[in-house]
Structure 1
Amino acid sequence: MYVEPLKGPEKMKHYEQRQVYVIRWHPSQCSVDPIEEIILDKRHDHKHVIGKLSKLSGVPVEYIYCTDSESFPVEISCLDIENKFEWYSMSSDRYYSLRLYDGDVIYYKDNRETMKELTDKERSEIRRAEEARLRRIRECISFKALT
């Protein structure tokens, strides 16, 4: 169980809504923004999700690409985000239904951004930072399993 202190009034108004975490991926910087929360109404289809992401980010819907949902916490390195996930757009034929649960995580990006070409030094620095971050996540998961 995870507990999250609310930063304001509860946003969920009825049981059919879903609270989903979203993380914006910046391929041009090989970085992510801090995690944010969106509330989805009864419809959980990808067009509804992409519309919410567009409103949140200011990126036009035609440039929003997002991933399938993942369970929280997601253990993935910034070095792997671009290639380990499948990315879907508003016009994707295959992406017709999301099976979203409260607390799921979706990554999204502005598809106009191109992937940054990393130097060996940058890749090494990111790898070290990511290993430390992933270690903290695993420690929290291990602690949770013990309690």
Structure 2
Amino acid sequence: MIQPGQIYRSCDPRESIRIRITAYRPGDARAHVADAVTGKRLRQILVTQLHESPVTATGRRRRSGYVLDSQAPAAEAAERPQERPEGGSAGLTPSEPLTGAQAGADGLDPHNAGPTVTECAEADRAYWTDKHAGEGQ
């Protein structure tokens, strides 16, 4: 049974690709996957390409698709509630300094606050309008 967190490896002996299931609803034709090591290259693949066994029904080694390499973490661990740090979220500090509009909204030094999305869109629109002014006439 396909579950998020499972890792599959390529059946092709020439490849060393490993993928992790990031999302799947039972009955769907496709599963969302990402590279198992980096978490990058998000994509969807057909669930018919995901196999539990490295051999076919006739006993031959599979040469296409992906075979289950490791199971997902235990379902019990996923169902356990996460522990909250003492003092609530107000006592936490971000691992990276906030920048942009978020920094200004959180009461941090406005020097760190960058342009908002609206300001960026207006500047982008003005740039392209000025750059291509008079073209196509």
Q: Place the TM-score, normalised by the shorter chain, in its bin.
A: under 0.3
TM-score (norm 2): 0.25
Flag the structure with higher helix content. 1
TM-score (norm 1): 0.24
Answer 1 or 2: higher relative contact order, Cα 8 Å, separation at least 6.
Answer: 1
Which structure has the bigger radius of gyration? 2
